[in-house]
């Protein structure tokens, strides 16, 4: 198990965002010390891709750069990879 600081692997574009942008590849089962506590990355996240940093309920918007760019189709937990379906 790897434990790593959030700022060394990701960027939060705006303080109100609920997803972050990976600044490097993040391996499966990495534990992140995030802005709101520790969470695990359950899937490999590639550089430039996004992952959840705050709980998101189904139907809620996903925010990056303070802009909504999608809607959660199910409840999402911190660490989950964000993708289109």
State pTM to two decimals: 0.92
Which pLDDT score is estimated for 85? 78
Options 2.60.40.1730, 2.30.130.110, 3.90.550.10, 3.30.70.2170; CATH of 2-71: 2.30.130.110
Confidence of residue 36 (pLDDT cuts 50, 70, 90): confident
Longest dimension (CA), the chain: 33
The per-residue DSSP string of 23-83 comes to SS-B-TTEEEEETTEEEEE-S-B-TT-EEE-S-B-TTPEEEETTEEEEE-SS-B-TTPBP-
For residue 11, pLDDT beyond 90: yes
Distance between CA atoms of 51 and 83, rounded to whole angstroms?
9
């Amino acid at each position: 198990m790897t434990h790593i600081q959030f700022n060394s692997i990701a960027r939060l574009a705006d303080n109100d965002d609920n997803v972050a942008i990976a600044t490097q590849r993040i391996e499966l089962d990495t534990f992140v010390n995030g802005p709101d506590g520790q969470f695990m990355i359950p899937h490999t996240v590639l550089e430039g891709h996004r992952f959840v940093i705050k709980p998101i309920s189904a139907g809620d918007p996903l925010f990056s750069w303070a802009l909504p760019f999608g809607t959660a189709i199910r409840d999402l937990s911190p660490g989950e990879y964000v993708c289109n379906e």
